[in-house]
A and B are shown apart, each in its own frame.
Chain A
Amino acid sequence: MPRAAPRRYARSPLVEKQLRELPELGSTEFRDALEVRDRKAPGFVRDEVLVWAIRQLVLNERLSDAQHVATELLERWGRLLVGRSYKWFPHSEQQREDMRQEISARLWKEILDPAESFWEANFWTALTRLCSDVAKSLIEKETPVHLSVLEDIAGDAGLGLPHSPSPEVDALKTENQAEFAAAFAQLPEKIRAAVYLAYVERWKASSSDPNEMTISRALNVSDRTVRTLLRQGEQLLLEWHRKTENEGGMR
């Protein structure tokens, strides 16, 4: 059965403008336009327009032309994908390879599927989401390790105290952002959300002011749970940092 008619997300005005102009371009002009790689140049064709063009070409059975445009998209974004694999898995070549393969396979499947209309609305966001989804599914395979750590610290005596940011974690975040991000990426999702709000957005765990946005309100969990999540997160981040230092840095 064909997929249901896709929901169309609003494209940005610039993408809409380029799509209106596209039919006026001859195929040679379009190929020339693809050569413009500088994103700020006036003739730069937006990624969302390329996705649209690929889909139209496939629909009209012009597969060779569609593949040409897809190759251009790959030239633009391929190295970013490689970079993402290093961000999520800086220490495992195998996992980087797995991530790249999985992303690539899913990327073209979604781009060739017109029902996946979000790619035409915001390519970068769609790609970011795809990378995260793939990375998280690979990290989930490591979940037993995280769970055992969580259980170990469940009885932490300090849980009753209000949470205050850890100077060690703050230092790690300030001094080595790449390493902090890599360690942060390995955290289980719920812990990662709490750590993000506490250390990046700088939100309080809880507050008596009903109008103040807090971690517990955003995540809809109790203050005690937020403190638990944050302490677990801090411990995991610092353990990961110590481990990588012993192994001689990120690479």
Chain B
Amino acid sequence: MKDEVRASVLAYMQARERGDEPSLEELIRQHPEHAADLVSFAAELFIATAPDDPAVSETIANDDLAVERAALDAAFTQRQYATRLTSLLGRAKQRGFEASDISAALGLGIDVIHKLDMRMIEPASIPEDLCRELSTLLDISTRQLTTYFSEAAQYAAPQGKRQQLQEAVRASPSTPSSDKARWTSSNAQTPNAAGEHLAAFGDARLTVQVSGSALKEARQRKGIDIRSLAQRLTQGGHSVDTSTVLHWQTATSTVIGVDVLEAISRILGVRRADLEVKAGVRSSVFSRVLQSSTFKSKLKQWSANHGISEAHALAQLNLQLGAAAQRSTGEPTEEQVQELLLHLLDEQTRDG
């Protein structure tokens, strides 16, 4: 319906609500150019307001609205996906930016941008100013950003700790010296300096990524249906409805609060770790392979060829390794990891 027709129809309907009886003829005389649309609307109104067939009234009253409820759930599930940030640089691309544009806009080296993208930076060390500027650039909320940064790192450093942003900036060869001072100075407002932001990070750190399929499996093994699980979580003080549980299950992975995960694991009688997503391959198997001289020399050569740091190269590999490991069944052995890594390196060298 055209905007002008809608406006005329609105005036007509509001007059009806006031108890006036506007005539179609009058409406058409006022808006002769929309006569056909107005007649069409009046005819549809006639159908809409015709009395229900008494034979079907009861059927309508007893309908459980399953079709409508499912559509409502689907719409909100889709919305949830849409609001969850899954890749910093992916989002930048959607907004028409390359990593270099973000780097230039923030005065941060491209290596730091990649580390932020791969969540290799300790969330609590990221200044509020940086979050705010990024949120403006990417047109997303700071809450989306803090949640993103707090999710499991795509690459975990061998020592198992994420790098402080200030440390990453100091070590960054591509961050201009003038900007280095800005991001490493004690004036850079870190979450510690901003109560509200600290709370946001605090909340965010209390989240984990849950695997939908693992949750479903555990629930089915326990013989608890979705509704009961939602009810028991709600009884336990976590406001969770059926559609939320359904969404957790159907998503590959979802971020939820640690407290909620704990409650779920208690109800389903499984360990928390059994429900969590394992990002990349961070097992001791992987660490041992990383230490091998064959791998070290290959990695060095490959990162030099591509002009990127070894850490960056490792992060890239871990992502791909994680994807490959997920496709295979079970935890890979040391030989398999080594083989996979070397295969990936060879492949990337060829592509490069």
The answer for the CA separation of A141 and B214 in the assembled complex, in Å, is 44
Known: A64-B239, A177-B51. A219 touches B10 (CB 8 A): no
Q: Given A108-B71, A122-B10, do A61 and B143 touch, yes or no (CB 8 Å)?
A: yes
The answer to whether B72 touches A81 (Cβ under 8 A) is no
Contact yes or no, A189 B53, CB < 8 A:
no
Query: Which one, A82, A112, A129, A184, contacts B75 given CB within 8 A?
Result: A112
Per-residue interface assignment for chain A, residues 76 to 120, with 1 indicating a CB less than 8 Å from any chain B CB and 0 otherwise: 001101111011101000000100110011011100100000100
Q: Is the CB of A86 within 8 A of B56?
A: yes
Residues in A neighbouring B74, C-beta threshold 8 A: 105
Cβ of B40 to closest chain A Cβ, rounded Å: 6
Contact of A196 among B43, B51, B63 (CB under 8 A): B43
A79 to B63, CA, bound (A): 7
Cβ of A29 within 8 Å of any chain B Cβ, yes or no, is no
Cβ-closest chain B residue relative to A200: B46
Q: Tell yes or no: A44 within 8 A of B by CB.
A: no
User: Which chain B residues in 22-62 approach chain A with CB under 8 Å?
Assistant: 24-25, 28-29, 35-36, 39-48, 50-56, 59-61
Interface size class of A (residues with CB under 8 A): 35 or more
Q: Is there a chain B Cβ closer than 8 Å to A235's Cβ?
A: no
Q: Which residue of chain B has the shortest Cβ distance to A12 in the bound complex? A: B14
Asked whether A87 lies within 8 Å of B47 as measured between CB atoms, the reply is yes
Q: What's the interface size class on B, roughly?
A: 35 or more
Q: Is the CB of B67 within 8 A of A100?
A: yes
Which B residue sits closest to A107, measured CB to CB? B71
- Bound-state CA distance A125–B52 (Å) is 18
Given contacts A63-B83, A251-B56, contact A74 B50 (CB under 8 A): no
> Is B6 in contact with A128, judged by CB distance below 8 angstroms?
no
Task: Out of A82, A181, A185, A197, name the residue touching B65 (CB < 8 Å).
Answer: A82
Contact with A along B218-243 (1 / 0, CB 8 A): 00000000000000000000010101
Is A18 part of the binding interface, using a Cβ–Cβ cutoff of 8 Å?
no
Instruction: Kindly supply a per-residue 1/0 record for chain B positions 1-31, scoring 1 wherever the CB is within 8 Å of any chain A CB and 0 otherwise.
Output: 1010011011001100100000011001100
Of the residues A83, A107, A128, contact of B45 by C-beta under 8 Å: A128
A179 to B65, CA, bound (A): 24
Task: Tell me which residues from 14 to 73 in chain A have a Cβ below 8 Å from any Cβ of chain B.
Answer: 58, 61, 63-64, 66-67, 70-71
Q: How far is the CA of A12 from the CA of B277 in the complex (A)?
A: 50
B60 in contact with A67 (CB, 8 Å): no
Bound-state CA distance A12–B52 (Å) is: 28
Beta-carbon contact of A177 and B50 below 8 Å = yes
Partner of B35, one of A58, A74, A124, A218: A218
A249 to B143 Cα, complex, angstroms = 58
Question: Could you say which of A10, A112, A196, A250 contacts B53, with CB atoms under 8 Å apart?
Answer: A250
Docked pose: A181 CA to B56 CA in angstroms: 14
Interface membership of A151, Cβ < 8 A: no
Q: Is the CB of B83 within 8 A of A78?
A: no
Residue of A nearest to B56 (CB): A86
Closest 9 CB pairs of A and B: A104-B71, A181-B50, A108-B75, A196-B43, A132-B44, A178-B53, A78-B65, A100-B67, A193-B39
Having A67-B76, A74-B69, A250-B55, one finds 11 other A-B pairs with CB under 8 Å, namely: A12-B17, A64-B239, A79-B65, A109-B75, A125-B13, A132-B48, A182-B53, A192-B43, A193-B39, A213-B25, A249-B55
16 contacts between A and B (CB under 8 A): A10-B10, A63-B79, A63-B80, A70-B76, A79-B65, A82-B68, A101-B67, A109-B75, A112-B75, A122-B10, A125-B13, A128-B44, A178-B53, A184-B46, A196-B39, A218-B39
